[in-house]
Structure 1
Amino acid sequence: SGSMQPTLLPGDFIGVEKFAYGLRDPIFHKTLIPTGKPQRGDITVFIDPSNPKIDLIKRVVGLPGDTIIYQNKTLYIKPACNGQKVCPVAQEVPKQYVGLTNFTELGTQLNEYKEQLGKVNHHILRDPALPEQLYRYYQQPGSPMGVWVVPKGHYFAMGDNRDNSLDSRYWGFMPEQNLVGKATFIWISFTFNHNADSMWPHWLPNGVRFNRIGRIH
Structure 2
Amino acid sequence: MRFMMMHKMTEDMEKGLPPSPEVMEGIGALMGEAAAQKVFLSGEGLKPSSQRFHLSYRNGERTLTEGPFADAKELPAGFALLAVKSRDEALAWLDKFAAVLGDVDIFVGAVVEAWDFGMPKPEGAPQRFLAMHQADSRSESGAPPSPELMAKMGALTSEMTKAGVLQVTGGLASTRHGARIRFSGRKRTVIDGPYTESKELIAGYAIFDLPSKAAAIDWATRFAEVVRVNEIDVREMAG
Q: Higher helix proportion, which one?
A: 2
Identify the structure with bigger relative contact order (alpha carbons < 8 Å, sequence gap 6+): 2
**TM-score when normalising by structure 2:** 0.24
Q: Higher strand proportion, which one?
A: 1
**TM-score when normalising by structure 1:** 0.26
